Chains A and B, each alone.
Chain A
């Protein structure tokens, strides 16, 4: 197979593999938006500068998959009125912390490395969210 075709097929395959989770998440968001009043959704994600990013980071750490899904979920949450700090922590933790992949990471890269790296990434997703939202509001 020529390299151009291979590159395109690889790109299509990576999106295709994310599709079930992507479609499932969008369907869930739509259902939540239709069934639950916006006020209730936003109240789940408090704007408190400590609890908000911690909640976002915990959710982002639990979920896994292509970041494309996290951008869409995060963007829709933002539209529903969830705070930028919380959404940013969610986006950062989604990719940098991997609870689901932790066993594989521990086996191949060592338990100490895997647990330390994920713990550091979790804390940095909170710090990063505060920093990003702060800088965006200042600029």
Chain B
């Protein structure tokens, strides 16, 4: 799945490059302007990307979300919610990498609410906060983070309740 996904990314980029070739054929000036604009965006982004790599590496080194996830077992109560939230926030990598582990936990009795909450909290990415602040400002980044974490509890609770009703 990983290679399929990364290949899809390259196909997407190749399609866009072909589109640019088409634009350059009919209107070289438009093509040049678009490339220059792309360059100006990346000049601003490069320091941000380096910072993100540094922060992600630090989190990979110090935090082990898989260990935390294993504590979301049956009857974990409030502790389970806290762990689901924290591990969702610090989890890295593509979402589908987590499905097998979450499936195993589900089979061991972990509540649907906690799994849904974990997946929702993946929207909060600490290493990407500098980029969020760069584009949207500190106030927005703080509000969005708090709102997302709060909504993750509602998302978990609602998902579980709806599944119970459907049953």
Contacts and interface: CB of A to CB of B under 8 A. Distances in A.
Contacts of A19: 9
Given A24-B16, A30-B38, A31-B34, A104 B99 contact: yes
A35 B166 contact: no
Contact of B143 (A15, A74, A75, A135): A135
A117 B155 contact: yes
A11 B60 contact: yes
Report the interface size class on chain B: 35 or more
B57 A76 contact: no
A12 interface: yes
A79 to B, nearest CB: 8
A113 B13 CA distance: 33
Contact of B159 (A35, A65, A113): A113
Interface string A26-58: 111111011100000000000000000000000
Interface string A59-83: 0000001011001101110100000
Contacts of B155: 96, 117, 120-121, 124
Interface string B117-144: 0011011010010011011100110011
Interface in B1-52: 1-2, 5-6, 9-10, 12-13, 15-17, 19-20, 23, 30, 33-35, 37-38, 41-42, 45, 49, 52
Contacts, number: 180
Chain B interface SS verdict (over half): helix
Contacts of A84: 140
A115 B54 CA distance: 36
Nearest to A109: B103
Contacts of B69: none
A15 B49 contact: yes
Given A8-B57, A121-B155, A34 B37 contact: yes
A interface secondary structure, majority = helix
Given A7-B61, A116-B163, A34 B143 contact: no
A27 B103 contact: no
A71 to B, nearest CB: 5
12 contacts: A11-B53, A17-B2, A17-B9, A27-B38, A67-B128, A68-B131, A96-B119, A104-B1, A108-B102, A116-B163, A117-B159, A136-B140
3 A-B pairs with the lowest CB-CB distances in the bound complex, closest first? A75-B135, A20-B9, A11-B56
